[in-house]
Amino acid sequence: MTSAQDITRSVNPPRAAFLDFPLGHTTGKPHESDLQRQILVEALTSFETMTAPGSMKELPFRWSEDEEWKAKAFAEGDDRTPRHDTPQYQDEEDRRRAVQGGSPSCPVCRP
């Protein structure tokens, strides 16, 4: 899933679902679980039906009735947290788990 159509096309993934929402909101608006569910179901369904490599489906959802949010996003610039070359942790417990190899109860974190 993507909200950056040009970037996604340049990396040429096998399939992609494009949502014309602000960056960081690729699966919908905050606190709107019904909308988020609809977006995810539509995206997953489109992944099942896209057969041509590099296919991209534009999902039919809109952030707002008009496009003013785009002008505002470009005018205000990038306010994301700066990136670092070294790992950043939420707290000391997060750092400790990362150093130890993750949580033993997490199937993804297990070495």
Cα 81–chain centre separation: 16
**What CA–CA distance (Å, rounded) separates 36 from 9?**
23
Average pLDDT, the chain: 84
Tens-place pLDDT, residues 6-16: 999 999 999 99
Model-level pTM? 0.63
Average pLDDT over residues 70-85: 73
Structure tokens at 10: 């340049």
Contacts 24+ apart (CB under 8 A), 78-84: 80/24
**% of the chain surpassing 70 pLDDT:** 86
Segment 88-111, tens digit of pLDDT: 887 898 888 888 875 566 655 555
**Six token digits for residue 111:** 């070495």
Strand partners, 15: 55
Answer yes or no: are the C-beta atoms of 16 and 6 closer than 8 Å.
Answer: no
